[in-house]
Structure 1
Amino acid sequence: MIQLLYRLIMFTVAFYGMNMSIKAQVDQHKEIFNTLKVNDSLIFERSFNKCETHYLKQLIAEDFEFYHDIGGLETSKEAFIKSMKNGICNPNNKTKSRRELVEGSLEVFLLKDNGNVYGALQNGVHKFFETTNGKEVAGSVAKFSHLWVLKNEKWVLKRVISYDHKMQEQPIVDGVEISNKLLDTYIGQYQAKETGLVVISRTEKGLHINAGQMSADIYAKSPSLFAHKQAPLTFEFVSDSQGKITKFIVRENDNIVEEAIKQ
């Protein structure tokens, strides 16, 4: 009887200890999840949407690497911040980009060494939007994986993988009407540094672009901004003070990748 009672006591102690351990792990995961969610907001809501890029200097590791399924590879903190300042945060850009985290998509998986947390993988889905002349339209949607590591008890972003970019399901905004007269001003030959000769022609309801191996119809998102239907590409036509079209700017996932001058 005494032996049975002893076993019951030991089982109760072990069970209680196990429950306390599980609760501690859950609490730790929740705390890290919330911390990295705040960091995500600082990177995108503040740095990307509002161009307060000083947050990037605080949150990004010195050996930072950024892998993009369309835009290529950045292999340093300095290069990434520079591309942000020269791209979406360039004050001369007429189109403003905005990122929105898909609610409920954020996940965090802890990385441990002998039971001690040294990093975490943060996965999620986000959408991008573009505003030109005060009118916002839907852009691309993509998945992301962020590798965060603890350095001197501080979370820093070490690796980013941005992938599965595609246009949102309803990218065309109702009510965008462009006159044939305005569309005709975009027609012509353009010269781009990387692509070479680019030809813009008319379709029944919009424009068509021939550039290298690309031949595609592009649809209007605003009177001066057009988009590719299958790829996260936009084409912004720029005019001079007399209203004459001088060039168009190509953006891929909101980053400037080419500029074509009208001949």
Structure 2
Amino acid sequence: MKVLTALVAAMLAVPVFASGTEGPDASTGETLHATVAALDSAAFDAFNRCSDPAQLERHTGYFAEDVEFYHDTGGVTWSRDEMLANTRKYVCGNFSRELMPDTLQVHPIKDFGAISQGSHRFCQFASGKCEGVADFTMIWRHKDGVWQLTRVLSYGHRAAGSEP
């Protein structure tokens, strides 16, 4: 029953994390940047703890059902279910993702949402070492007060300290 209660609470929490009062045409770039930075932080906080089913469900809410995920070494997935199956299989309990400081860029998409770009590193839970780095581009849609990812590109995977 505790797991069910936690799962329901996590699902109800998604609109809180995935909502914003700012629309895609926010009057200042700083407001949009702050909104998308908070969304990135919340989505990957759940990703980093996805061994917990409630956190995996919370992470799920940040993605549109028809999300396209392009990964340079893993290929393409065409749906949220397929992407999350890969997350469950390859990520949960294995590593965490950290946004690299001062790399997040956010650009508005008129009447739609925003593009976010940056670099992130991956840290292995077993060793505690952060040995992998990659770049990302994500398309955020703002619809009916909810922000969701519709396209994700993760590319340029390399060892930490290597040039892209």
CA–CA distance in structure 1, aligned partners of residues 130 and 29 of structure 2: 34
Matches within 5 A, 1:154-169: 154-169=146-161
Q: Which amino acid aligns with 2:32?
A: I
Q: 2:124 aligns with which of 118, 130, 133?
A: 130
Q: Which amino acid aligns with 2:90?
A: G
CA–CA distance in structure 1, aligned partners of residues 73 and 63 of structure 2: 22
Provide the aligned length of Structure 1 versus Structure 2: 134
Match of 2:7 in 1: none
Cα distance change, pair 26–84 in 1 and its aligned pair in 2 (3 A): closer
CA–CA distance in structure 1, aligned partners of residues 69 and 38 of structure 2: 20
Moved beyond 4 Å, runs of 4+: none
TM-score (norm: length of structure 1):
0.48
Match of 1:34 in 2: 34
**Structural RMSD (CA):** 1.8
User: Do residues 50 (structure 1) and 49 (structure 2) align?
Assistant: yes
Structure 2 unmatched ranges of 5 or more:
1-24
Please state which structure has a larger fraction of its residues in strand: 1
Structure 1 unmatched ranges of 5 or more:
1-24, 91-95, 171-263
CA–CA distance in structure 1, aligned partners of residues 58 and 29 of structure 2: 24
Match of 1:64 in 2: 67
Matches within 5 A, 1:202-221: none
CA–CA distance in structure 2, aligned partners of residues 138 and 58 of structure 1: 27
Please state which structure has a larger fraction of its residues in helix: 2
Displacement, 1:55?
2.0
- Which structure has the higher relative contact order (CA within 8 Å, separation 6+)? 2
- Give the secondary-structure state (helix, strand or coil) at the position aligned to 1:81: helix
Displacement, 1:72?
0.4
Displacement, 1:79?
0.8
CA–CA distance in structure 1, aligned partners of residues 29 and 46 of structure 2: 25
Q: Which has the larger radius of gyration?
A: 1
- Give the secondary-structure state (helix, strand or coil) at the position aligned to 1:42: helix
TM-score (norm: length of structure 2):
0.74
Give identity over the alignment, percent. 31
